[in-house]
Amino acid sequence: MKTIVINTSPRKKWNTAQIMKSAADGAESIGAEVEYIDLYTLDFKGCMSCLACKKVDKEKAKCYWKDELSPLIDKILNADTLLIGSPIYYGQPTSGFRALFERLLFCVTSFDGEPTYYKGKLKIGLFYTMNAPKEFYEGVIKEKFKEFEGFFPLLNADAKSYGVVDTLQVDDYSEFNLGIFDENHKKEFREKQFPIDLEEAFKIGAELSKE
């Protein structure tokens, strides 16, 4: 089993990265071959509408734009499992997350009468991290993202999502203009909840990476 793990936060060591590393550990614990990627270390753009992936003489389910994202798309489409995490900014995943899925989904989309050129089956684990409380995730984010996740049949995908809520933004709030946040609450909540989130990420990584 091959599992690709992607952190789509620009921060390599904070909440999302820690969650994704725990998910990667879970996948490794059951013997999966795991590759971990910090997406923001790559040089890439969103879909450039070159339509090379739709040319009659080109192999399908492949992105042809020459940057560092196309090889990653190849790896995803040849994997068994994709574990991907993003912080939520203004109610949306990061621009890097959206650029990745824009290109991944478009290159497999068929306009020849069948929905997809992709012949494999991908298991997807989605991890969303956010400053907002659980009520906002349950009442707004989960419903809002169902529309996006509705495109996953193009990847013949089974998907599971998990929300990491009320996250700690920084170690020392006194160094930043973040006055609306209660630092004591944030730190107390993190101490109690974040270990649970890490354990859940580990379990999901293991579950989705099984044969």
| pLDDT > 90 in the chain, percent | 76
For residue 131, give every residue at least 6 positions away whose Cβ sits within 8 Å of its Cβ, in sequence order, or none. 166, 167, 169, 181
pLDDT at 73 over 90: yes
How many Å is the Cα radius of gyration of the chain? 18
Would you call 169 exposed, middle or buried from its count of C-beta atoms within 10 A (0-12, 13-18, 19+)? middle
For residue range 150-165, what is the model confidence (pLDDT) as tens digits? 889 999 998 899 999 9
Contact 117/156 with Cβ under 8 angstroms?
Answer: no
Domains of the chain, CATH where assigned: 2-208 (3.40.50.360)
Res 203 pLDDT > 90: yes
Distance in angstroms (rounded) separating the CA atoms of residues 30 and 114: 35
Q: How far is CA 31 from CA 4, 28, 103, 112, 210, in A?
A: 13, 5, 30, 38, 8
Res 150: pLDDT? 87
Using the predicted structure, report yes or no on whether residue 181 has a pLDDT greater than 90: no
- Mean predicted confidence (pLDDT) in 64-81: 96
Higher pLDDT, 211 or 56: 56
Instruction: Please write the tens of the pLDDT for every residue from 8-50.
Output: 999 999 999 999 999 999 999 999 999 999 999 999 999 999 9
Q: Confidence band (pLDDT; 50, 70, 90) for 128?
A: very high
Determine the Cα–Cα distance for residues 37 and 48; give it in Å rounded to an integer: 22
